[in-house]
Structure 1
Amino acid sequence: MSDSAWLSSELGYCTNVHSGETLQDIKQNLATYSVRVRQLRHLEQMEVGLWLPDQAAKTLLCDSQLTEFKRELESLGLQIRSLNGFPYGGFHQQQLDGKLQPVKREVYQPDWCDERRLIYSSNLLHILNALMPDDCDFASISTLPLGDKQSRTWDQHALLHTIEQLKQLTLQCATLHNLTGKRIVFAIEMEPGCVLEHSDELLRFFKLLKKYDENARYVTVCLDICHLAVSGESPHEVISKLQKAGIEISKVQLSNAIELELQKNWQVSLASGFAAQMQASPWLHQTSVFLDKFKPISVADFSLLFTEQSERLWQQVDRATHAFARVHCHVPLFAEHVVIAEGVSSGTTQTQLIEALRALTTLSAQQSYKPILEIETYSWSLFLEQFAGDLCHGITTELAWVELQLKVAQLSDSPNDSVLESQP
């Protein structure tokens, strides 16, 4: 089998699906859920993409618990080559004015103009350096695409300040690489509504970064397939574009978005059901409305499609020959359809996901490394009753689906066929 193949043990999931901000929470989640997923897959070792919020990261460093934590991971049969450094604090809920509130737009704070983002990212770098398996020389930490477009004016001054912060971080990456031989990179993850939302914006930023930072090679890209779908970009085209520009893709987050046909008679059902659920969920659900072949119309959250201000948009929908929306809501990878309201079923962007997995054939053939692949269905809590009932079985089924797709694309080296028993 080719060196480009992903072993079963190298395919994991991101632990931001589990709530909890303390180190004890993180350890409990790993022992309760991640180990169970590994066992269901009949693996002795399994990689996980670890989400360490700021509070847990500081505890690991301040209390000198890194050595003990690495031993615990080894005893659990879990390996870490990937950290999610995007959400800084609470990702499922947060404490505001003494009350628990949804995270929503706060997930982008602090942004890359804020020194706290640099300190947090630096902490993650040193943690990952300590936690990586001894025989591993490459790892990746995903980070936010600079920040939220609405949070501040992202002019040249703000961009250059961000680059100055990144320069401090990449210098640390280069220093560690020279000392240890371990190459740890940061990976910018494009997201709808953020400063770097589309690939053209990303390319312009990398051009600026390379101009000012001699260690810019330690800043790479994390491709989130759900985000690409909502933004209306083809995974194959984006991968090709980044390759031509010499920009490394160090991580691919496998994710699936909602895609629904827009019909006027669905408005009441959607507004009273799914839209209300989305509004109450912890996360933002950015939405793009596609009308015929025109450029998609961006809406900050799916629930905003059902306000008085959206009437003009619905008039455009009525005039269009073909109208559909893609919603930033991470649904199970194996799902082709999702029931979102009584009598209303939507499709998903699974075809985009399959396109991305097949495009990896080209990526792995032309480059000397394999980007880290991990599932990121952090919103399983919205779909457990519909699809699985049990979180660990749901994640295991997703991983089995990925392995099957990789086998179809002749990418996977998976002698353990038993995982396919979890296929729905």
Structure 2
Amino acid sequence: MKLTAGHLTYCTNIHVGENWADHFNALKLSFPEIKQQLSPNAPMGIGLRLSNIASIELLQGDNLLQFKQWLQLQEAYVFTMNGFPYGGFHHTIVKDQVHAPDWTTDDRVAYTLRLFHILANLLPEGMAGGISTSPLSYRNWFKTAPALEAAKSDATKNILRIAAELNLIKQKTGIQLHLDIEPEPDGILETGREFINWFEQDLLLQGSVFFEQNYQIPAAESQKLIKDHVNLCYDVCHFAIGYEPHELVIEELTNKGIKVGKIQISAALKAKFDVSHTNKQTILAEFEKFNESTYLHQVIARLADGKLLRYPDLPDALTATDDAREWRAHFHVPVFSEDFGLVQSTQADIIKVLEIQMEKPFTDHLEVETYTWGVLPDSLKIPLTQSIIRELEWVKYKLTN
């Protein structure tokens, strides 16, 4: 739905199913009720997630035409997509495979280009569209510094191929599209600092050579082109896990002319340990309730001296003996709840980012992304459609009051 702060929607990666029929059926079952509750008298946007298989099937026969007709009947529109998970995302062990195939591969390029051509076909006239994606790859796959640098370089080249195609689409159709890189723990890019450094020291530098050699576009023009078509996906959960200062990160991005394609509104788990650690075992027992086998739940511990200690998954942290004062865990919990007993959420980080957005808007795409409903502890589960409505109502209230 269109608010003063931007277009607000939810990401459909919450729905089970990997083929187009499953995706479409889930939308037909849930979206009309959601729209009726939240935007009965005005069009409402959808944050569409398509697996690789679904993206292929959507382009077969008259599937795309049928979908466009359904969108029109529902007074719905697609303005953002989630191109991060390529394959299975529910009822399977995802873990680090959420990054596969990564940006070093042609498969990731082909999938993302297909999504952009679909999005260009679905976008309302005059609206820009974005697709969020993996932060290049999963860094723990690369065991040496040279291997990691090589992967970063290869991934950057492939992202420049996407930027070139998006530039051609804009020249031919006037449609503005952007790829939104989503830093997350243990990605090759996992922090705002790493994203900005990569953008300036790798993407822009390689891009100047790439566009000069392949398209005869001078450096100054190519840098503007890259900034138009490669943006940041500001996932609040991921930035909160790393204890990042939102105001400073967003201010630096703005000052450097690096655009934010969308805000993903999401919350992580957190808890503070007292100085004597007398509450540690009871808090760890609460974290244990969130220890499930589908997704990675990286933990970043903050020590007494402020240093950060990173664990690749919750089981690694639960068996560690750190002297942390605080833990933050990558588990997307409902954004409308802050208190889960002995553990809390990073809801305050969402409120801070939304306050910045309302005061000085830095994007017009806002997407709620809580995809863990199926693996939440039973005490936190409520019917999925009602969960979506409740999250969007909470965000809408924060943006309008």
Q: Structure 2 residue aligned with 1:278, among 276, 286, 291?
A: 291
Per the alignment, residue 213 of structure 2 pairs with none
Give the distance between the partners of 1:63 and 1:161, measured in 2 at CA.
35
**Count of residue correspondences:** 376
Alpha-carbon contact 2:286-2:343 (below 8 Å) kept: no
Per the alignment, residue 110 of structure 1 pairs with 101
Alpha-carbon contact 1:286-1:299 (below 8 Å) kept: yes
Give the distance between the partners of 1:163 and 1:64, measured in 2 at CA.
35
1:391–1:191 distance in 2 versus 1, CA, 3 Å: same
Amino acid at match of 2:193: D
Amino acid at match of 2:374: S
Give the distance between the partners of 2:31 and 2:138, measured in 1 at CA.
31
1:362–1:245 distance in 2 versus 1, CA, 3 Å: farther
Give the distance between the partners of 1:137 and 1:306, measured in 2 at CA.
46
1:144–1:177 distance in 2 versus 1, CA, 3 Å: same
Give the distance between the partners of 1:178 and 1:137, measured in 2 at CA.
15
Give the distance between the partners of 1:121 and 1:359, measured in 2 at CA.
30
Deviations 1:263-299 (A, max 9, x none): 655565566664264233x111111111234221111
Deviations 1:96-121 (A, max 9, x none): xxxxxx11111011110011100110
Q: Structure 1 residue aligned with 2:117, among 126, 131, 137?
A: 126
Deviations 1:10-62 (A, max 9, x none): 31100111111000010011111222211222424211111001000011124
Alpha-carbon contact 1:192-1:286 (below 8 Å) kept: yes
Computed over aligned residues only, the root mean square deviation of the Cα atoms, in angstroms, reads 2.1
Secondary structure of the 2:140 match is coil
Per the alignment, residue 5 of structure 1 pairs with 4
Per the alignment, residue 287 of structure 1 pairs with 299
1:202–1:55 distance in 2 versus 1, CA, 3 Å: same
TM-score normalised over the length of structure 2: 0.88
User: Shift in Å at residue 68 of structure 1?
Assistant: 1.9
Q: Structure 1 residue aligned with 2:346, among 349, 359, 362?
A: 349
Per the alignment, residue 90 of structure 1 pairs with 88
Secondary structure of the 1:83 match is strand
Q: Structure 2 residue aligned with 1:14, among 11, 15, 21?
A: 11
Secondary structure of the 1:247 match is coil
Per the alignment, residue 247 of structure 1 pairs with 258
Give the distance between the partners of 1:31 and 1:12, measured in 2 at CA.
16
User: Shift in Å at residue 256 of structure 1?
Assistant: 0.9
Give the distance between the partners of 1:171 and 1:220, measured in 2 at CA.
14
1:297–1:325 distance in 2 versus 1, CA, 3 Å: same
Amino acid at match of 1:5: T
Q: Which runs of 5+ in 1 are unaligned?
A: 95-101, 318-322, 340-344, 409-424
Deviations 1:305-347 (A, max 9, x none): 232xx13x1xx24xxxxx11111111111111114xxxxx211
Alpha-carbon contact 2:289-2:377 (below 8 Å) kept: no
Amino acid at match of 1:89: G
1:267–1:118 distance in 2 versus 1, CA, 3 Å: same
Give the distance between the partners of 1:203 and 1:363, measured in 2 at CA.
20
1:293–1:357 distance in 2 versus 1, CA, 3 Å: farther
Is 1:148 aligned to residue 138 of structure 2? Answer: yes
Give the distance between the partners of 2:97 and 2:150, measured in 1 at CA.
23
Give the distance between the partners of 2:183 and 2:76, measured in 1 at CA.
28
Q: Which runs of 5+ in 2 are unaligned?
A: 208-221
User: Shift in Å at residue 212 of structure 1?
Assistant: 2.4
Give the distance between the partners of 1:125 and 1:42, measured in 2 at CA.
27
Give the distance between the partners of 1:371 and 1:171, measured in 2 at CA.
23
Secondary structure of the 1:278 match is coil
Per the alignment, residue 328 of structure 1 pairs with 330
Alpha-carbon contact 2:283-2:343 (below 8 Å) kept: no
TM-score normalised over the length of structure 1: 0.83
Alpha-carbon contact 2:290-2:376 (below 8 Å) kept: no
Q: Structure 2 residue aligned with 1:210, among 204, 215, 230?
A: 204
Aligned-residue identity in percent:
30
Per the alignment, residue 342 of structure 1 pairs with none
Per the alignment, residue 137 of structure 1 pairs with 127
Alpha-carbon contact 1:271-1:303 (below 8 Å) kept: no
Compare 117-126 and 261-270 and name the one that shifted more: 261-270
User: Shift in Å at residue 140 of structure 1?
Assistant: 0.5
Q: Structure 2 residue aligned with 1:60, among 44, 58, 61?
A: 58
Alpha-carbon contact 1:290-1:296 (below 8 Å) kept: yes
Per the alignment, residue 78 of structure 1 pairs with 76
Give the distance between the partners of 1:128 and 1:188, measured in 2 at CA.
17
Amino acid at match of 1:183: Q
Amino acid at match of 1:124: L
Q: Structure 1 residue aligned with 2:272, among 261, 266, 287?
A: 261
User: Shift in Å at residue 160 of structure 1?
Assistant: 2.5
1:278–1:333 distance in 2 versus 1, CA, 3 Å: same
Give the distance between the partners of 2:289 and 2:4, measured in 1 at CA.
42
Alpha-carbon contact 2:287-2:343 (below 8 Å) kept: no
Secondary structure of the 2:371 match is coil
Secondary structure of the 2:296 match is coil
Per the alignment, residue 49 of structure 2 pairs with 51
Is 1:175 aligned to residue 168 of structure 2? Answer: yes
Alpha-carbon contact 1:276-1:303 (below 8 Å) kept: no
Give the distance between the partners of 2:150 and 2:287, measured in 1 at CA.
41
Deviations 1:116-146 (A, max 9, x none): 100110000101011112x233011001100
Q: Structure 1 runs of 4+ off > 6 angstroms?
A: none
1:250–1:18 distance in 2 versus 1, CA, 3 Å: same
Give the distance between the partners of 1:290 and 1:248, measured in 2 at CA.
29
Amino acid at match of 2:396: E
Q: Structure 2 residue aligned with 1:225, among 236, 240, 248?
A: 236
Give the distance between the partners of 2:246 and 2:383, measured in 1 at CA.
31
Describe how 1:162-201 pairs up with structure 2 within 5 A: 162-201=155-194
Secondary structure of the 1:253 match is strand
Describe how 1:388-407 pairs up with structure 2 within 5 A: 389-407=382-400
Per the alignment, residue 215 of structure 2 pairs with none
Q: Structure 2 residue aligned with 1:337, among 336, 339, 342?
A: 339
